[in-house]
Structure 1
Amino acid sequence: MSLPASAAQLCEWTGGHLLRGRPNQSFEGTKIDSREVGSRDLFVAIIGPNHDAHRFLGDVLLGGAAGAMVQSDRIDHSLPRSDGFIVQVEDTTRALADLARGHRGSFDGPLIGITGSNGKTTTKELCADILSGVGSTLSTRGNLNNNFGVPLTLLRREDGDGFAVIEMGMNHRGEIADLAAIAQPSIGVLTNIGSAHIEFLGSRETIAEEKGDLLAALPTEGTAVVGHDDPLALAQSERSDARVLSFGRDPKADLCASSIRFLGEGAYAFELESPFGRGEIRVPGLAETIVENALAAAGGALAAGASFERVASGLASHGGVPGRMQPRSFPNDVLIIDDAYNANPQSMRAALETLARLESGGRRLAVLGQMGELGDAAEAEHLGIGRLIGSLDLHEVFLLGPFADLVAEGAHESGLTKNRIHIEKDHASLARTLKMRLGKGDRVLVKGSRAAHMEGVIELLAEGDR
């Protein structure tokens, strides 16, 4: 928060009580990690399932923090004296949201909220790439898209920011509505509806309703940007009173991509037709899903006031997102495709199909961990991924995790011989086996859910080549 706020404003926004200090004392940044607190920062003592940050209050105050926000049932009156103010609230997690909502009230520029089962982070980065060429743009760092990340992102806004691009994630019902109430988006982007988090929501229809809460929260003068080719996503636009812009490959979409082609140098080109203009778009990326991500980002940016020309140049400048289909060159012309950040059935299929399409002077190898949060569908989905592997032109598969046997079973059923299927017990053994079998010109996809930490395999391979 480069725009300073006072202890009095903090109390007004959160309903808190000034326990120590003066109402006119100010702060500029907001932190929930005590190790990051500086002299102009407010420290919010969050109580989590495993840790209570109130135990760091003494150190933070003695370290010169501008102030602290504490929970009323955790107040320690023996805290050391310092120049920092202290505000007490009933619940520090809820107060963090209230603080962000209050601070949001002084921003009158376009705020784009982005959600969906797949492509949120890439779409957010693409949209920010476009708008940063128009004016200073606040955007979510990484994927800090939950009930802590969204408020902290909003509180980083600087005086000169003219746009905000905020990613919103969830894994339980009601979270998107809560995040939308904090961020108050004027533009909402719904990328698609998949089966990520189905373990907690029960069905894709319920996932659609949860994601659609973003569109339902938009003001009448706002804009809902939604995938036309995804019936579950498109249906959610009916819940919004805002203008609707659809995107997709169907000619009926408001933003329609046609003549899609892979350029060979790790980029896609397509013709974009829209109410805002028509022309060729080029966007870096290995997977064809980058086309839908680019359309979604374009819709959000155009609704925020970007020109068609700026959309084209912004998309062309995209530098990729770590852990999302990122090519990494290794010796002997080996290319590792790092898609290790996360995995669900839809993104796994898209990544494997991309691997199968890549030109290669060697072989195509898949290195896979489990897909998470699938609940009762987990076994069937992993078996299905195995069958897909066997049906594609892949040479070998290396598996890790609790569902490796099911993926192996599916792959063998659909034609992959057992000597081309490798199940390993940990990252180290997988990396050793893979390294022994790598050959000149091989293309290797590495992918799995967050819990699988498949980036560890890539790190071990990289260490061996130093």
Structure 2
Amino acid sequence: MPDPHAPLPFEAAVHPEARPATRLTWDSRTASPEVAFVALPGEKMHGNQFVQGALDAGAPFVLTDLDVPRAVRVADAQAALFAWARSERAHNPHVVGITGSAGKTTAKAYAAAALHAHFMPVFNTMPAIACFLIEHGRSARPLVVEMGIDRLGEMAELVGLVRPDVGVVTAIGPAHLEQLGSLENIVREKGMILRGVRGLVGAQAAPYYPGADYPGVDSYGFGDVTVAGRDLELTPGGARFNFAGVPVQLPLASRVQAEAAVLALGLAQEAGLELAGAAHRLSGVQVPGGRYRVHPGRFTVIDDAYNASPVAVRAALEALGSFAGRRISVLGRMLELGETERSLHAEVGALARQAADLSYGVGAFAAELGERAFRTVPELTADLLATVQDGDVILVKASRGISWTPEQRAQEGVGLDTVVEALLELQAQRPGGLGNAAR
């Protein structure tokens, strides 16, 4: 529990009315009598502009350079936040850091379940990680931290903050190329999480981290790896395999989830936890919406629309291939791919045409992504809803474009969550309500 009256690793003037908090936030809209507010600099505005709103919401304290009621007054709120996080993290003996070009959130969810750990919420920015470490650093339970990067030098900053005892790289591929520049830079930057700690890399990432350059790093997954699951079976109903003699069943899971489960069980085994119990916890894992969430019904919707990179789309298309019935891929733009974006979209589109019986594309690279190409998301949605039949399996995947306006998202084919919503609404209708299915 963040307590402003406890010894702090920075100089501060603590207002006598400041109170301990349950959580910290840098978004004043989520401040409350249990949630304290940290006033950080932003791209357009400084958090100081929202301090009064946080106080009005009952925030137990505010970390700021302003002289206001319930203030923990410091010279630099961001520097104080990070110093506090590093101090609290030092109290936890088992911190797992997870990075990769795809699959980070899935790996985090499975690792946390197997270890019975506290884990990062969806946001994985430096301030979010710092707040998490302050809130849970003194817990007796392990911590699992997602560490995503989109610029050079960021992983070094994250490693300096989190100081993971175990570093994980799930996968390597072209992502955030506009800022990171090249695949070689991605390999080097993400590899910083493996230096000087227990390291684990997914089977797809393993070739990028040879033992000669990364001693003590093991691979995980299936096949020729050092931490291995055995006898993997993938069906539309999920994944089954064995790990160290323990049977594992993951409902509605693909190979990506199965590999994450192997990682999780390897971590649990090394931590001395009972594997049967860890495997049971894995069977109930649910990743956040938009990350390979399967919705069975009259037709099956695979909601993988939260984000996309070439390596992630390839994995999703591979999973689509395990389903029976007519397979449909719905793909939108992958962002931040730099000068190679057209060729990378074309490569993904070629895979989609092989894996799916019918492929859709939308936005700037619609023709590259699918045989049915549409300029905007509403146009694609209308055609898809008129085409889908009972028994179909529809994969929906694209980047989010989270900072774009709704008009930009519709135009560029990002944020395909609206397509998922429309499909699920149609799925819930009475049998016979589908256009072609009723013909």
> What TM-score, normalized by structure 2, do the two folds share?
0.86
Q: 1:179 and 1:322 mapped to 2: Cα distance? A: 26
Q: Is the 8 A contact 2:40 2:47 kept in 1?
A: yes
1:60 pairs with 51, 54, 60, which one?
54
Counterpart of 1:403 in structure 2 is 365
Equivalent runs, 1:288-299 vs 2, <5 Å: 288-299=255-266
Counterpart of 1:300 in structure 2 is 267
Cα distance per residue 1:150-175 (max 9 Å; x no partner):
11222332865411111111111222
Aligned: 1:94 with 2:79: yes
The 1:233–1:283 alpha-carbon spacing in structure 2 relative to 1, beyond 3 Å, is farther
Counterpart of 1:249 in structure 2 is 222
Equivalent runs, 1:195-214 vs 2, <5 Å: 195-214=174-193
Counterpart of 2:98 in structure 1 is 114
1:355 Cα deviation from its structure 2 partner: 1.7
Deviates more, 1:224-233 or 1:23-32: 23-32
Structure 1: which amino acid aligns with 2:209? L
The 1:300–1:196 alpha-carbon spacing in structure 2 relative to 1, beyond 3 Å, is farther
Structure 2: which amino acid aligns with 1:305? G
The 1:239–1:152 alpha-carbon spacing in structure 2 relative to 1, beyond 3 Å, is same
Q: 2:16 and 2:51 mapped to 1: Cα distance? A: 19
The 1:107–1:356 alpha-carbon spacing in structure 2 relative to 1, beyond 3 Å, is closer
Counterpart of 1:194 in structure 2 is 173
Counterpart of 1:215 in structure 2 is 194
The 1:41–1:427 alpha-carbon spacing in structure 2 relative to 1, beyond 3 Å, is same
Aligned length in residues = 416
Q: 2:327 and 2:128 mapped to 1: Cα distance? A: 37
Q: Is the 8 A contact 2:268 2:275 kept in 1?
A: no
Counterpart of 1:374 in structure 2 is 337
Q: 1:428 and 1:435 mapped to 2: Cα distance? A: 11
Cα distance per residue 1:378-423 (max 9 Å; x no partner):
111111122222333x232222121113334xxxxxxxxxxxx322
Q: Is the 8 A contact 2:331 2:397 kept in 1?
A: yes
Aligned: 1:179 with 2:158: yes
Matched position secondary structure for 2:386: helix
Q: 2:245 and 2:50 mapped to 1: Cα distance? A: 56
1:358 Cα deviation from its structure 2 partner: 0.9
Q: 1:380 and 1:353 mapped to 2: Cα distance? A: 20
1:320 Cα deviation from its structure 2 partner: 4.2
Q: Is the 8 A contact 2:92 2:138 kept in 1?
A: no
Matched position secondary structure for 1:327: strand
Q: Is the 8 A contact 2:89 2:138 kept in 1?
A: no
Q: 1:263 and 1:405 mapped to 2: Cα distance? A: 31
1:85 pairs with 71, 78, 82, which one?
71
- Over the aligned positions, Cα root-mean-square deviation in angstroms equals 2.6
1:295 Cα deviation from its structure 2 partner: 1.9
2:240 pairs with 262, 269, 274, which one?
269
The 1:85–1:146 alpha-carbon spacing in structure 2 relative to 1, beyond 3 Å, is closer
Q: 2:33 and 2:182 mapped to 1: Cα distance? A: 47
The 1:261–1:179 alpha-carbon spacing in structure 2 relative to 1, beyond 3 Å, is same
Q: 1:89 and 1:232 mapped to 2: Cα distance? A: 46
Aligned: 1:33 with 2:27: yes
Gapped regions of structure 2 (runs ≥ 5)? 402-413, 430-439
Counterpart of 1:412 in structure 2 is none
Structure 2: which amino acid aligns with 1:114? I
Matched position secondary structure for 1:397: strand
Equivalent runs, 1:425-440 vs 2, <5 Å: 425-440=375-390
Gapped regions of structure 1 (runs ≥ 5)? 409-420
1:26 Cα deviation from its structure 2 partner: 4.4
Q: 1:150 and 1:237 mapped to 2: Cα distance? A: 32
Counterpart of 2:88 in structure 1 is 103
1:317 pairs with 280, 284, 288, which one?
284
Structure 2: which amino acid aligns with 1:385? V
The 1:158–1:172 alpha-carbon spacing in structure 2 relative to 1, beyond 3 Å, is closer
Structure 2: which amino acid aligns with 1:93? Q
Aligned: 1:9 with 2:4: no
Counterpart of 1:224 in structure 2 is 199
Counterpart of 2:347 in structure 1 is 384
Q: 1:178 and 1:206 mapped to 2: Cα distance? A: 16
Matched position secondary structure for 1:112: strand
> What TM-score, normalized by structure 1, do the two folds share?
0.82
Q: Is the 8 A contact 1:428 1:460 kept in 2?
A: no
2:209 pairs with 228, 234, 259, which one?
234
Counterpart of 1:164 in structure 2 is 143
Q: Is the 8 A contact 2:100 2:171 kept in 1?
A: yes
Q: Is the 8 A contact 2:366 2:375 kept in 1?
A: no
Structure 2: which amino acid aligns with 1:176? M
State the percentage of identical aligned residues. Answer: 29
Q: 1:238 and 1:121 mapped to 2: Cα distance? A: 27
Matched position secondary structure for 2:189: helix
Q: Is the 8 A contact 1:302 1:311 kept in 2?
A: no
Q: Is the 8 A contact 1:193 1:232 kept in 2?
A: no
Q: Is the 8 A contact 1:97 1:151 kept in 2?
A: yes
Cα distance per residue 1:5-26 (max 9 Å; x no partner):
234634xx2x3431x6249964
1:432 Cα deviation from its structure 2 partner: 1.4
The 1:63–1:305 alpha-carbon spacing in structure 2 relative to 1, beyond 3 Å, is same
Cα distance per residue 1:253-308 (max 9 Å; x no partner):
3212332212442x212233xxxx43433223442222322222222332333233
